[in-house]
Amino acid sequence: MEKNDLSKYDNTWYNPGNKVVCVLWYFVNVVFFVSHIIPLSGLKVWLLKLFGAKVGLSVVIKPGVNIKYPWKLVIGDYSWIGEDVWIDNLDQVIIGSNVCISQGAMLLCGNHNYKKTTFDLMVNEIILEEGVWLGAKSIVCSGVTCKTHAILSAGSIANIDLEPYTIYQGNPAKKTRNRVIKA
């Protein structure tokens, strides 16, 4: 039976961008985003755009948000990103309009191939379509699309695509009922 051999791990194929820009972003992210000292959402939106993110109108970004690479991020109009959210966007993350990402939620674009002895890095995009709500401490895994107005309940883990207007709960997240929105 084979075993992992992390001495042979090699992700040199992965290039997130210019190394100088990556280092500069690291410090901007720590000071202005991860820190709870600066609560100004407008400044954060401006900085994200400066680093290549596409950000829509009236986006709210709370303190403690950690974003890996803003140039791999799209956020639609009127979306909210809550305290201590981690957007580990090794690949593209597309957040639609009117999306709510609650406190401590995680978007994880990377994973490892556990079937290979070298434990190779694998990356895939995450898409949150319009009106999606991710509950507090929920996790969306690599390659998942949360379709329009889907809900991932607090503490739940999505490792498959979520159907539109559907509520999911658990680990792994399972469909529990339909979402009905009333005017």
What's the average model confidence in pLDDT over 153-169?
98
pTM value is 0.96
Output the pLDDT for position 112. 95
**How many domains does the chain fold into?**
1
Say if residue 1's pLDDT is above 90: no
Tell me if 183 is assigned to some domain: no
Is residue 73 assigned to a domain?
yes
Rg (C-alpha) for the chain, rounded Å, is 17
The pLDDT tens digits of the residues spanning 90-120 come to 999 999 999 999 999 999 999 999 999 999 9
Report the pLDDT value the prediction gives residue 144, as an integer from 0 to 100: 98
pLDDT 10s digits, 133-148: 999 999 999 999 999 9
The pLDDT assigned to 79 comes to 98
In a domain, 182, yes or no: no
User: Does a structural domain hold residue 135?
Assistant: yes
Domain encompassing residue 97: 6-10+19-177
79 domain-assigned: yes
Confidence of residue 54 (pLDDT cuts 50, 70, 90): very high
**Is there a domain that residue 1 lies in?**
no
10-14, 98-102, 173-177: least confidently modelled range: 10-14
116 within a domain of the structure (yes/no): yes
CATH number of the domain that residue 46 is part of: 2.160.10.10
| Per-residue pLDDT at 171 | 98
Q: What is the structure's pLDDT at 48?
A: 98
Q: How confident is the model at residue 126 (pLDDT cuts 50, 70, 90)?
A: very high
State yes or no: pLDDT of 70 exceeds 90: yes
